[in-house]
C-alpha cells in the first residue's frame, strides 16, 4: 500500500509518470522503486480517489505529458500516512538465505567468491550514494544541517542509505576474514 503514498509525496509539484520513474531511478532508488507499468495505473487510481488531479500538456518530444498533482485530500492522505507510525514491513534477504545454507556445499573458495561479489555490489551502491551526497555538498556549503526543512529530512534518508551500505560492507569484510582464518591458516 505504500506506492500510492510515495506517489502522493512526489507530486507535491506536478509530475508525469515518466518524470516519476526517473526520480525513482536516480535519487529515490535507495529506498523505493517501481516500474512504469505500475506507476501509470497507480496514478490513475489516485485521480479516481480524488487524491490527485491530471493536466495534459504538450511535450517537446513524443505524446502529451500528463502532469499529476495532489489535491488537498491527497496532501491530507499523505500526512495521515506519516501519522500511522513507521512502515516497517519485514524484509526478505535472499543472500542471507544463501549464506544460511552455504555449508551444504563444501567448496570454501565458492563461499569466498560469494562474499567478495556481495561486497563489490554494496561498494558500488555506496559509491552511488556518495556521488549523490557530493552533489548536495556542492550546492549547499553548510551541508547537512544548514539544509532547508524539507531537504533536512530527505538528507536523513541519504544518511540512512550510507550507513546501511557501510554496515553490509563491514559484515562482508568481516565474514571474508573469518572464512580465511578458518580454512586457510
Partner DNA sequence: CCGAGCATGTAAGCTGTTACATGATTAG
Partner DNA sequence: CTAATCATGTAACAGCTTACATGCTCGG
Residues that bind a copy of itself (CB under 8 A): 2, 5-6, 9, 12, 28-33, 75, 78-79, 81-83, 85-105, 110-111, 114, 117-118, 121, 145, 149-154, 156-157, 159-161, 163-164, 166-168, 170-171, 174-175, 178, 182
Q: Does 37 bind DNA (CB under 7 A)?
A: yes
Site mask for DNA (CB under 7 A), range 67-106, x = bound = -------------------------x--------------
Work out the burial of residue 8: count CB atoms within 10 Å of its CB; fewer than 13 is exposed, 13-18 middle, 19 or more buried.
buried
Closer residue to a copy of itself, CB minimum distance, 61 or 92:
92
CA dist 69 and 3 (Å) reads: 15
- Minimum separation from the CB atom of position 176 to DNA (A): 28
Out of a copy of itself, DNA, none, what residue 141 binds, judged by CB under 5 to 8 A for its kind, is none
Helix (H) or strand (E) holding 68: strand 65-70
Q: How far is CA 182 from the centre of its chain?
A: 36
Helix (H) or strand (E) holding 4: helix 2-10
The residues near 48 (Cβ < 8 Å, ≥ 6 apart) are none
Amino acid at each position: 500500500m505504500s506506492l500510492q503514498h510515495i506517489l502522493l509525496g512526489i507530486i507535491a509539484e506536478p509530475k508525469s509518470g515518466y518524470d516519476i520513474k526517473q526520480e525513482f531511478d536516480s535519487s529515490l532508488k535507495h529506498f523505493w522503486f517501481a516500474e512504469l507499468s505500475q506507476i501509470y495505473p497507480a496514478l490513475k487510481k489516485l485521480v479516481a480517489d480524488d487524491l490527485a488531479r491530471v493536466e495534459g500538456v504538450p511535450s517537446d518530444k513524443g505524446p502529451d505529458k500528463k502532469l499529476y498533482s495532489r489535491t488537498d485530500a491527497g496532501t491530507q492522505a499523505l500526512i495521515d500516512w506519516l501519522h500511522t507510525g513507521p512502515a516497517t514491513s519485514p524484509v526478505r534477504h535472499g543472500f542471507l538465505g544463501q549464506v544460511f545454507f552455504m555449508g551444504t556445499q563444501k567448496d570454501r573458495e565458492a563461499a569466498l567468491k560469494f562474499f567478495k561479489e556481495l561486497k563489490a555490489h554494496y561498494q558500488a551502491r555506496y559509491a552511488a550514494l556518495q556521488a549523490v551526497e557530493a552533489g548536495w555538498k556542492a550546492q549547499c556549503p553548510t551541508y547537512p544541517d544548514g539544509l532547508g526543512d524539507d531537504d533536512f529530512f530527505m538528507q536523513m534518508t541519504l544518511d540512512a542509505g550510507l550507513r546501511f551500505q557501510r554496515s553490509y560492507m563491514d559484515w562482508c569484510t568481516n565474514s571474508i576474514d573469518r572464512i580465511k582464518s578458518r580454512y586457510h591458516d
